[in-house]
Amino acid sequence: MKQDRRLTVEAELRADQPQAETPEQEQPEQGGAQNDADPQGKVISGYAIVWNSPSKDLGGFTEVVTPQALDGVDLSDVLMLNNHDYSQVLASVKAGTLELETDDKGLHFKATLPNTTYANDVYEQVTAGNVDSCSFGFEVNDGTDTWTKDDDGNITRTINAVKSLFDVSVVAVPAYDDTNVQVDTRSYEKFINKEKEDDTMTKKTIIDPEKQTETRSFEDYIRSRGELRDGITTSGAAAVIPEEIITPVFQLKQSKYNLAQYATVKQVSTGSGHYPIATSQQTAVLATKEELADIADVDANMFADVPFDVKTRAGKIALSNEVVEDAEVDIVGEVKNQLQQLVDNTDNSQIMTLLTGSNFAKATATGVDDLKKVFNVTLDPALDKMFIVNQSGFNYLDTLKDSEGRYLLQPNPTAPSGFSLLGAPVALISDKVLANNSDGSFPVLCGDISQAVAVFRRNQVTAQWDKFDQFSQGLSVIVRNDYEVISKDAVINISLSAPAK
């Protein structure tokens, strides 16, 4: 449910002067404490709604509220707020501090303000004339609004029945703005479609005078109730929604992983700069110290100074409101999940490009002995090593046995793939992400990914908005990340192939 908000610029908002105590009121006893608080309170009054008063342009149309719009509406829970802020309540009908009454002009209110800082500020601003507008939050009854178009092409929406009135507010904005406009887009779209269809029909002939054949436009118009949409057919006197729209979303099963979980991820507050990242590949030792001698400087590179330059990557999806409303599943939620998958895919692509590029040393292996040499000798033992293999490479490793006939891949519940090799966890990646080498050998990444690659995250923004002119919703995701190499000695890119027979 979207709560509509409308501004009332002819609110006649004013602050009433506090009433002084009358002589008949009981005076405190001599010597008692004087009560400086005004018993009548500070009062403001005006009109939250003015009947039949055209709004400003709301995006192709104006709007009026009829005097009958509030008939039968329960006003017992209405609040008066400051700028629609529910943390700044100025008055309440339930508490008796807000009086609402409809008259020939509109919805009149009278509010007695509390003795709070923000309420006193509102009173002073109204008294000074700095704030002179009101607004109201409401929900309209579906199908009760009407649309008209005059000879000059001006479109007017008439609100005939309000379902609920939530609040009346004192506001400083003297005109309508986008944040205050939440209109039933389907209602508007139906009116616009009908206008277009009517205009088209006036240019067509129901019966062709030459061929004497029936024109389909009128029949289609009647059957679709004036609402023609792509992909929707008619049967009898009702529109038929395509079957594929109302069926649940079919989710293809595929591997879900994000290589960023193995890398070093740093949140940065600027778009570019340098970030010191601690490394584990320093071999410095502490020097001996003579009594009272100065402590010697440690000759060690404890940090890698990694420069970063954040790039913006974004994507958006347009989603028809017909599909959203006609589907029996949460289409928007499914699309948001897919957008997050795009973020993961971006991480995977960028990190894999670094790992398989020219940044890291390469080696060849024709068996397990060669893998052991890289694992035990080439890579520093201080590294927290792991293996990353694709599907084809994993299948090959899964068939290898040692001299005693035992499979080299051992079950390991804590490893990403459920297996370990040489005591190190194995991560399994799709062949689509990590393809076989051009010579047919299998790519194997061995080393410490957290010491090899850094991901600098600036921010990630997801957005959703209504595309009013297309009756659709736009969903987008924007990420600002950078991917950089930390240590070129932390990973070895191995080409694994079967030994020659």
Locate the domains of the chain by residue range.
4-18+38-183, 191-240, 256-286+298-501
Phi-psi region of 440 (alpha: psi -120 to 50; beta: other; left: phi over 0): left
Which residues, in sequence order, are CB contacts of 272 under 8 Å at separation 6+? 307, 308, 309, 310
Q: How far apart are CA 283 and CA 302, in angstroms?
A: 10
Closest CA to 226 of 442, 234, 501: 234
Residue 231: is its pLDDT beyond 70?
Answer: no
Give the ranges where 174-284 is alpha helix by DSSP (H).
185-202, 216-223, 243-246
Q: Which long-range contacts (CB under 8 A, 24 or more apart) does 75-80 make?
A: 75/100, 75/165, 78/165, 78/166, 78/167, 78/168, 79/166, 79/167, 79/168, 80/109, 80/111, 80/167, 80/168, 80/169, 80/170
Q: How far apart are CA 47 and CA 136, in angstroms?
A: 10
Q: How far apart are CA 385 and CA 449, in angstroms?
A: 8
58 or 368, higher pLDDT? 368
Q: What pLDDT, on the 0 to 100 scale, is given for residue 15?
A: 74
Q: What pLDDT, on the 0 to 100 scale, is given for residue 344?
A: 85
pLDDT band for 417, please (50, 70, 90 cuts). Answer: confident
Cβ atoms of residues 54 and 9 within 8 Å: no
Q: How far apart are CA 113 and CA 121, in angstroms?
A: 11
Q: Which two tokens stand for residue 19?
A: 């009433």
Q: How far apart are CA 326 and CA 320, in angstroms?
A: 10
pLDDT band for 427, please (50, 70, 90 cuts). Answer: very high
Q: Which two tokens stand for residue 228?
A: 């023609």
CA 270, 274, 279: angle at the middle one, nearest 5?
A: 130
Q: What pLDDT, on the 0 to 100 scale, is given for residue 474?
A: 78
Give percent of the chain with pLDDT exceeding 70: 71
User: Coil, strand or helix: which one is 214?
Assistant: strand
Decide which of 3.40.630.30, 3.90.1690.10, 3.90.1150.10, 3.40.50.1820 is the CATH code for 256-286+298-501: 3.90.1690.10
User: Coil, strand or helix: which one is 323?
Assistant: helix
pLDDT band for 388, please (50, 70, 90 cuts). Answer: very high
Would you say the C-alpha torsion 388, 392, 398, 399 has a positive or negative sign? Answer: negative
**Which pLDDT tens digit goes with each residue over 172-196?**
764 444 334 344 445 666 666 666 5
Query: What amino acid is encoded at 242 in this protein?
Result: P
pLDDT band for 18, please (50, 70, 90 cuts). Answer: low
Q: What pLDDT, on the 0 to 100 scale, is given for residue 35?
A: 35
Q: What pLDDT, on the 0 to 100 scale, is given for residue 92?
A: 93
Q: What pLDDT, on the 0 to 100 scale, is given for residue 8?
A: 72
Give the ranges where 38-131 is alpha helix by DSSP (H).
117-128
Burial class (CB in 10 A: 0-12, 13-18, 19+), 46: buried
Token match 């190190």: residue?
A: 424
Helices 216-223, 185-202: axis angle to 10 degrees equals 160
501 or 234, higher pLDDT? 501
Burial class (CB in 10 A: 0-12, 13-18, 19+), 65: buried
Token match 């923004």: residue?
A: 461
Closest CA to 343 of 476, 168, 445: 476
**Which pLDDT tens digit goes with each residue over 254-308?**
556 788 888 888 888 888 888 777 766 566 667 777 777 777 666 656 677 788 8
Please compute Rg for the chain using Cα positions: 36
pLDDT band for 350, please (50, 70, 90 cuts). Answer: very high
Q: How far apart are CA 337 and CA 113, in angstroms?
A: 47
Q: How far apart are CA 491 and CA 354, in angstroms?
A: 11
Q: What pLDDT, on the 0 to 100 scale, is given for residue 223?
A: 46
Residue 225 is given by DSSP the state: T
Residues found in the chain: 501
| Residue 49: strand pairing partners | 107
Which residues, in sequence order, are CB contacts of 440 under 8 Å at separation 6+? 497
Q: How far apart are CA 100 and CA 111, in angstroms?
A: 9
**Which pLDDT tens digit goes with each residue over 113-148?**
999 998 999 999 888 888 888 888 888 877 778 888
Dihedral of the alpha carbons of 400, 402, 404, 409, in degrees to the nearest 10: -60
Burial class (CB in 10 A: 0-12, 13-18, 19+), 36: exposed
Cβ atoms of residues 42 and 112 within 8 Å: yes
